[in-house]
Homo-oligomer: A and B are copies of this chain.
């Protein structure tokens, strides 16, 4: 129970750190973290629907909708109705942004943690990863055990090597 507490606080702590860290980079570009994440996805796929963004970024549809709206009013994105299915909306980079965008968008992904891991020795990194794998699979098991409906919620996380083990 005390260990659980420690794990909980640690997760919170690291989560806060990465957020804070990303935010610094983000606001140099005049955007927020969620906004960068959305832009990154659009950049990667050239054109996506709200639905896809919702799935890939693990945010609810309404949240994504909001963010996209803000990015459109900033003239970073454009929305065009999909030809084949008029319910869909094709979201893509605005011409203006498509030009002066570089890889800096994609490289935004947790750069901070790379630096953190590099502070550790090889075998220490192994331990960290091993521990995280154990914890994550335990969480997954727990979720299944208590019948957490959110299926999509699960297969978000990829495992480095082998995928599923444990009971």
Contacts and interface: CB of A to CB of B under 8 A. Distances in A.
A11 B5 contact: no
A163 to B, nearest CB: 13
A9 B115 CA distance: 16
Interface in A125-167: 125, 127-132, 134-136, 138-139, 141-143, 145, 148, 150, 153, 156-160
B135 A8 contact: no
A129 to B, nearest CB: 6
A70 interface: no
A124 interface: yes
Contact of A157 (B9, B130, B157, B159): B9
A138 B157 contact: no
A14 interface: yes
Contacts of A124: 134
Per DSSP, chain A at the interface is helix
A139 B3 contact: no
A132 B6 contact: yes
B142 A6 contact: no
B14 A139 contact: yes
A110 B13 contact: no
A46 interface: no
B120 A7 contact: no
Interface of A: 1-18, 20, 58, 109-110, 112-117, 119-120, 124-125, 127-132, 134-136, 138-139, 141-143, 145, 148, 150, 153, 156-160
